[in-house]
Amino acid sequence: MPSLVLNDQPVEIAADPALPLLWALRDVANLTGAKYGCGVGECGACMVLVDGQAMPSCTLTMAEAEGRSVTTIEGLARRAPGVARHPVLQALIDEQAIQCGFCTPGIAIALAGLLAHNPRPTDAEIAAAVTNLCRCGVYPRIVPAVRRITGPVAATTVASASAEGVEASEEGGNAPAAPGTATAGE
């Protein structure tokens, strides 16, 4: 019987090791927040956090989930008294980034996974992390929802800053030499 840590609780789930995690969550553990959309890892409706990384649960078997830490939208919601829900949930509500709500658990999971590793993502990094499909078109409200948590974040990324530095250097610009870099005359 596969065992894993589910929403911070060690559990054994009576499911075939070949069963996708999504169906074990929905049909065995009665956690129905993760939704079935495409079934092939494309739409993001079924996303959960696995060891802190957002990933589709429709393409992960119970055998692959064995021994790992899985957090579902119910884990982010934390309805237990005295335990606050994850800030992405309130931000999505406050920004009204929800219409029918079918995609919302997956989007919340994607954002929670992003912010856990990158607390101040740029707009481009948010767009890259949230590839979930939404038939209602809430896309324009996702970045504003994140900004309710992070505040303003400059658009410049580490990669583009590095590229700018290379260009300045190639143009003979005034960019300072990196520590330990020999300069003419030394």
CB of 152 to ligand FES, least distance (A): 26
Task: Determine if 88 is a binding residue for ligand FES (CB under 6 A).
Answer: no
Using the contact rule CB under 6 A, the part of the chain among 63-71, 94-102, 141-149, 150-158 near ligand FES is 94-102
CA–centroid distance for 185 within its chain: 50
Could you tell me the CA-to-CA distances from 132 to 44, 76, 89, 90 in Å, in that order?
A: 5, 18, 16, 19
**Binder among 67, 101, 144, 173 for ligand FES (CB under 6 A):** 101
Judged by beta carbon, residue 13 or residue 109, the one nearer ligand FES is: 109
Could you tell me the CA-to-CA distances from 137 to 1, 20, 26, 37, 142 in Å, in that order?
A: 40, 28, 26, 16, 10
**Binder among 15, 31, 43, 112 for ligand FES (CB under 6 A):** 43
Task: Determine if 99 is a binding residue for ligand FES (CB under 6 A).
Answer: yes
51 closest CA partner among 70, 23, 72, 65 = 70
Using the contact rule CB under 6 A, the part of the chain among 74-82, 119-127, 130-138, 145-153 near ligand FES is 130-138
